[in-house]
Amino acid sequence: MIFDIVHPDDIDILRKKQSGTLNFDKPIKLRFKNHLGEYIWFEEYATPVYKDGKIIAVQGVYRNVHSNYILQEQLEYKSTHDGLTGLCNREYFQLKKKEFDQISIPISVIVADLDDLKEVNDEYGHQMGDRLIVAAADCLKKFADEEMIVARIGGDEFIVVMPHKNSFEVEQYIEKVRLEMKEFSNLSPFSPIQISMGYEYAPSSYGVMRQLLNKADQKMYKNKKMKKMLVENR
């Protein structure tokens, strides 16, 4: 039976097709399970057949369009994600930033930046620097939930957007990331690499995203400067 092999999310489309309540002016797109248990995308241009004002059949031919869908998904993923780390990219962050500016929810923005990455690149090469960038990305992503946005917006610059989180939850997240980075750096062949972070919270995201980002950025640089001063004064 066709309902046994259709994707669960597409069952309603199939039911509407059988009842004649679907829009037949557009191609019908469904996923069916093949003999390997994989869901494959199909497209059908269907025409309902009526008798005495009632639908009695639907005529159409299915066409396998799975490769087109996979290609489209890959293109969409690449357009919104960073190639090195797999995090969201700058373009995606800017898009979400505009969206948050139009709604009112509690929100926090974290700006993060690796310390002394230039020195690592100069002494050990950019491949090692890339390893550190990926490690930082993995740490930021490891403790993020599905609602959070973790983006790489530049070489070693990251932004984390945390909707519906209070200051305590943000500080917990930052501490977890710092400890994870410290553990990674202990295994590195050079002096410990650290990540500087600053955050800003607002009870409403409406129209304040740029302001939050600037304040978080200032706090991040203040954190970076304090660590350098501590090292110099030792």
Which pLDDT tens digit goes with each residue over 194-206?
889 999 999 999 9
What integer best gives the mean pLDDT of the chain? 89
Q: What share of the chain is helix, strand, coil (3-state, %, to 5)?
A: 45, 25, 25
Query: How distant is the alpha carbon of residue 209 from its chain centre?
Result: 18
State how far the Cα of 66 lies from the Cα of 69, in Å rounded to an integer. 5
Overall number of domains in the chain: 2
On whether residue 76 sits in a domain, the answer given is no
Which pLDDT tens digit goes with each residue over 146-176?
999 999 999 899 999 999 999 999 999 999 9
Query: How distant is the alpha carbon of residue 174 from its chain centre?
Result: 19
Cα angle 203, 225, 177; round to 5: 55
Q: 3-class DSSP state for residue 86? A: coil
State how far the Cα of 165 lies from the Cα of 215, in Å rounded to an integer. 17
CATH code assigned at 48: 3.30.450.20
Which pLDDT tens digit goes with each residue over 21-48?
888 888 899 999 998 999 999 999 888 8
Which pLDDT tens digit goes with each residue over 74-111?
888 899 999 999 999 999 999 999 999 999 999 999 99
On whether residue 203 sits in a domain, the answer given is yes
Structural domain range at position 43: 2-70
Task: Please report, for residues 137, 170, 200, the alpha-carbon distance to residue 89 in angstroms, rounded to integers and kept in the order given.
Answer: 12, 21, 21
Let me know whether 61 and 89 are in one domain: no
